[in-house]
């Protein structure tokens, strides 16, 4: 008997094939224009994306980690990093910590909610000190942190000067009520890494904000710290920009974002209907999108082995907490006063299943059957 191909965790060739005509036209036009950086296609995409989110400013940069770094640098301004801190979570892949370390800020880790895996607002507020300059809330797996509630809690605790950064690398198109993720904090960052809900065909990122001062700072910092051509008036500048080919491709793909998000959601709905007690998908709020189909399982390794036997790929996002990354053990960091027990417990229970636009019905059925088999064992 011929074995079926495994169900992959993702297959970007299918996304490409579904949109090849518009992608190829967009890329070809950009290449033939002879204008490959800082041109009209970047301007068009930044305006379209700002319009989609309902924000005034969108600064295109090279990737999502740069966007986080530039956001933190813009917030820090002319202050020395010194012992200044940011509060964030330890379970979101390390990108915020990487950015904070580039700027010289100390990461302070707050715990997450058990059901959603998102930053727990109480824990974030409990971790604030006089040295905190920002809370970075990651909308992990497509699920949205309630930013207005976070803002209110921070203000109520007397930290009105602390800024809120939304990391939207996994939440393109997600909402809290009527407001898009990326439009509620002081500043927000996006990655357009190819597997993201809105992905480029290479690297890309954006910083978005309704704060004109932060936008102006970010624009200078992304371009060497220039105040005018060849005049460096701001320290901490560097080069980070998106090329015109990627911007053109993103403009071509933006109109498909909501449709592709609905497709991911439909797939996860199918999986959720097959779960009983052994596997539980993480809680999603009303306006959430699905970036990854992440479940919790007490016997995660057994479940993964069973999936693999049935030809279903799985992954772990993310296997190592920021607090435990070997390269960072000697660097300054701390946990909030309540520690991070939920983050620690769930790191050994999370597992991501295939969920991407272009999955066939037969593949979705196979994943559903594999979940059902594990539940029935």
Ligand X SMILES: Cc1ncc(COP(=O)(O)O)c(C=O)c1O
| Contact set with ligand X (CB under 6 A) | 63-65, 92-93, 95, 138, 167, 169-170, 191, 193, 203, 205
Residue 140 Cβ vs ligand X, minimum distance, rounded to whole Å: 6
In sequence order, the 6+-apart residues with CB closer than 8 A to the CB of 118 are: 89, 112, 137, 138, 139, 140, 143, 144, 145
- Nearer Cβ to ligand X (118/176): 118
Residue 12 Cβ vs ligand X, minimum distance, rounded to whole Å: 14
- Whether the bond between 216 and the residue before it is cis, its omega within 30 degrees of 0, is no
- Nearer Cβ to ligand X (169/208): 169
Spatial CA neighbour of 23 closest among 251, 342, 275, 216: 251
- Nearer Cβ to ligand X (140/176): 140
- Packing angle of the helix pair 212-221, 64-76 (nearest 10 deg): 120
In sequence order, the 6+-apart residues with CB closer than 8 A to the CB of 225 are: 232, 233, 234, 235, 236, 237, 238
Q: Which string of b and e fits 319-353 if b means at least 16 CB within 10 Å? A: eebbbebeebeeeebebbeeebebbeebbeebbbb
- Nearer Cβ to ligand X (102/217): 102
- Nearer Cβ to ligand X (93/182): 93
> What is the distance, to the nearest Å, from the Cα of residue 253 to the centroid of all Cα atoms in its chain?
18
Query: Cα separation of 74 and 38, whole Å?
Result: 21
- Nearer Cβ to ligand X (57/167): 167
Residue 366 Cβ vs ligand X, minimum distance, rounded to whole Å: 27
For residue 266, give both structure tokens: 């439909």
Residue 3 Cβ vs ligand X, minimum distance, rounded to whole Å: 32
Closest residue by beta carbon to ligand X: 64
Residue 187 Cβ vs ligand X, minimum distance, rounded to whole Å: 14
Query: Cα separation of 281 and 291, whole Å?
Result: 13
Residue 66 Cβ vs ligand X, minimum distance, rounded to whole Å: 7
For residue 89, give both structure tokens: 């979570």
In sequence order, the 6+-apart residues with CB closer than 8 A to the CB of 327 are: none
Residue 76 Cβ vs ligand X, minimum distance, rounded to whole Å: 19
Element of type H or E holding 157: none
- Nearer Cβ to ligand X (93/354): 93
């Amino acid at each position: 008997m011929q074995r079926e191909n495994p169900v992959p965790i993702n297959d970007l060739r299918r996304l490409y094939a579904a949109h090849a005509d518009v992608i190829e036209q967009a890329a070809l036009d950009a290449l033939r224009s002879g204008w490959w950086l800082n041109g009209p296609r970047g301007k068009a995409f930044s305006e379209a994306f700002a319009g989609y989110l309902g924000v005034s400013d969108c600064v295109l940069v090279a990737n999502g980690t740069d966007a986080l770094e530039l956001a933190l640098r813009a917030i820090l301004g002319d202050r020395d990093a010194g012992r200044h801190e940011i509060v964030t979570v330890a379970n979101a892949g390390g990108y915020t910590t990487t950015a904070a370390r580039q700027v010289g800020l100390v990461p302070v880790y707050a715990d997450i909610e058990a059901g959603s895996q998102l930053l727990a607002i109480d824990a974030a507020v409990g971790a604030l000190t006089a040295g905190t300059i920002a809370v970075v809330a990651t909308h992990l797996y497509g699920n949205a942190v309630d930013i207005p509630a976070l803002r209110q809690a921070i203000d109520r605790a007397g930290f009105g000067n602390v800024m809120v950064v939304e990391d939207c690398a996994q939440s393109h198109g997600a909402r809290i009520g009527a407001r898009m993720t990326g439009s509620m904090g002081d500043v927000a960052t996006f990655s357009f890494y190819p597997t993201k809900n809105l992905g480029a065909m290479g690297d890309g990122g954006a910083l978005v904000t309704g704060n004109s001062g932060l936008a102006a700072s970010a624009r200078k910092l992304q371009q060497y710290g220039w105040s005018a051509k060849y005049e460096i008036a701001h320290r901490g500048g560097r080069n980070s920009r998106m090329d015109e080919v990627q911007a053109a491709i993103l403009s071509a793909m933006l109109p498909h974002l909501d449709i592709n998000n609905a497709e991911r959601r439909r797939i996860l709905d199918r999986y959720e209907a097959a779960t009983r007690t052994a596997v539980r998908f993480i809680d999603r709020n009303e306006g959430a999108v699905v970036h990854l189909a992440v479940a919790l399982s007490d016997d995660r390794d057994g479940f993964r082995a069973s999936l693999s036997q049935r030809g279903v790929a799985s992954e772990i996002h993310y296997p190592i907490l920021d607090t435990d990354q070997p390269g960072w053990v000697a660097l300054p960091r701390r946990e909030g006063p309540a520690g991070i027990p939920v983050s620690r417990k769930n790191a050994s229970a999370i597992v991501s299943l295939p969920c991407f636009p272009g999955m066939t019905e037969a593949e979705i059925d196979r994943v559903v059957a594999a979940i059902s088999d594990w539940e029935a064992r």
